Amino acid sequence: MVLHGLLALLHFPWFYLVTLLLAGIQHLRQRHLERATLGIKVTRDVLHAFRSIGIGLLAGIAISAAFDYAHVPFSWQDGVSVWVLGTLFSLIDMRLACVSYSGSLVALAGLVSAWWVPGNAPQVAVWLRALHPFSLLVLIAAANAVEGVATFLQMGIASPFLMKSRRGQIVGAFLLQGFWPLPIFALGSVPFSVLPNRTGIALGSPPQRVFFLGGVSISLYTILLAIALFFLRHSTPGLTIVALLALLSHAWLERFQVMREEAQSPLYVRPKSGVRILATLSGTPAKRIGLTPGETIARVGGMPVNSPYDLHFAIDQNPAYVKLEVIDSRGEMRWIGTPIFERDPHHLGCVFVPDERGVTETNVLSVGKQGRFFKLWRSVDAGERTVETPA
């Protein structure tokens, strides 16, 4: 049956291709986000895109095989409804593309049809009664399991950008996102696809910690959802409650993570002395020697540095080899030596938290607006200006 499903997907790939296109557009938007606020592309978005597609494809095959083995029924109305609703939601806000929202609403519509359907709309009644609410909720649990594992393993993108804190201070932050397109080719349904995703910010914590906590929280949520489905699978009122919780809990988990980060003191702010790292560029000395976001470079070759210009000057004094005095986020000091050559266009390869005096409002984006498709594109197209060149 799995081979039959794969052949059906190859014969009718359009739903899956559109989902891939939406995920690809989001990766391009993150590249524009970095260029618009920092003036340089930091993350390797193409590598992340292919990795996300690979994870989603393998997970989709496994989920479809499990549904086939467990005889979880689907109809073509299930697939079309979830895909259409999820695609429409993605045009409003990419965070809403997650199957937790579209799948829950379609499941609720199927559950409501068990006791009420419009009498003057027979076609609507036929459509709603062909839905399988329990199967859709199982699909949500499976997709969230993929989301939880992928988030826990940090299979997402952490894009550095600039934002304004609650106190009006311009600080560095990371926009965390992961998209894993799942092709579903269950028996009885057209080959469709869903897009589990995870979004959040890292403001007062390193991105790795936020990914870890997010993966733990969504995994616990998935386990509770699976337990509820097991005990309430034959109860229409019970499944209705589960669908409502699945709809609201996912949004609450994302909002709680953002509120937790906003309540902490920002980590990526300009220090009193030294220069604080916001991001490191791939293939540079900074990446090779293990410099990480949130660390502060206090001295270079024994010379104190308080701006990227100081750091450039200190490196130029000895372009072949420099010794760095680095303070980590816990306040501990360490010394690192690395060869740097004059032909290296980025010298060290760091992007630092900028001085507010060198930042204009057009370089600062609001976290609450990152998912809005058209507004973000307008802000990006307005101009890409460099805040501070990488050192």
Give the per-residue pLDDT at 391.
61
Give the per-residue pLDDT at 92.
84
Give the per-residue pLDDT at 59.
94
Rounded to two decimals, the pTM is: 0.84
Q: Which residues contact 325 (CB under 8 A, 6 or more apart)?
A: 297, 298, 299, 300, 333, 334, 335
Q: Which two tokens stand for residue 26?
A: 């989001």
Give the per-residue pLDDT at 353.
85
| Residue 36: CA count within 13 A, CB half-sphere | 24
- Within the chain, which residue ranges are assigned CATH 2.30.42.10? 275-352
CA distances from 379 to 37, 65, 253 (A): 10, 43, 28
Dist CA 153 CA 212 (whole Å): 7
User: What are the phi and psi torsion angles at 283 (to 5°)?
Assistant: 75, 20
Give the per-residue pLDDT at 341.
58
Helix and strand numbers (H, E) in the chain are 12, 11
Q: Which two tokens stand for residue 132?
A: 């399988």
Q: In terms of Cα–Cα distance, which of 320, 325, 140, 122 is closest to 221?
A: 140
Give the per-residue pLDDT at 372.
42
Q: Quote the strand ranges of the chain, DSSP E.
A: 157-164, 170-179, 182-184, 192-194, 197-202, 275-280, 296-300, 303-304, 321-327, 333-339, 350-352
Q: What is the pLDDT along the chain (391 residues), one digit of tens a residue?
A: 567 667 777 788 889 999 999 888 887 887 777 877 777 788 877 788 888 999 999 999 999 989 988 889 899 999 999 999 999 998 888 888 889 999 999 999 999 887 776 666 677 778 888 899 999 999 999 999 999 999 998 888 888 888 877 777 778 889 888 899 999 987 777 889 998 888 888 988 889 899 999 999 999 999 999 999 999 988 999 999 999 999 899 889 888 988 898 888 888 888 888 899 998 888 788 888 888 888 999 998 888 998 888 888 888 887 677 788 999 877 888 888 777 655 554 467 888 887 655 454 444 444 444 444 334 333 433 333 434 445 6
Q: Is 178 exposed, middle or buried (0-12, 13-18, 19+ CB in 10 A)?
A: buried
Give the per-residue pLDDT at 118.
64
Q: Is 11 exposed, middle or buried (0-12, 13-18, 19+ CB in 10 A)?
A: exposed
Q: Which residues contact 310 (CB under 8 A, 6 or more apart)?
A: 275, 300, 303, 304
Q: Which residues contact 388 (CB under 8 A, 6 or more apart)?
A: 39, 308, 351, 352, 354, 355, 358
Task: Provide the b/e sequence for 57-68 (b: ≥16 CB within 10 Å).
Answer: bebbbebbeebb
Cα torsion for 60, 66, 67, 69, to the nearest 10°? 140
CA distances from 184 to 75, 99, 110 (A): 12, 12, 20
Q: Which CATH code for domain 275-352?
A: 2.30.42.10
CA distances from 328 to 260, 295, 297, 331 (A): 22, 4, 9, 5
User: What are the phi and psi torsion angles at 48 (to 5°)?
Assistant: -65, -40
Instruction: Check: CB of residue 106 under 8 Å from CB of residue 126.
Output: no
Instruction: Please tell me the chain's helix, strand, coil percentages from 3-state DSSP, rounded to the nearest 5.
Output: 55, 15, 30
Beta strands 170-179 and 197-202: pairing type? Answer: antiparallel
For the chain, the C-alpha Rg in angstroms (whole number) is: 24
| CA-based torsion, 57, 83, 43, 170: positive or negative | negative
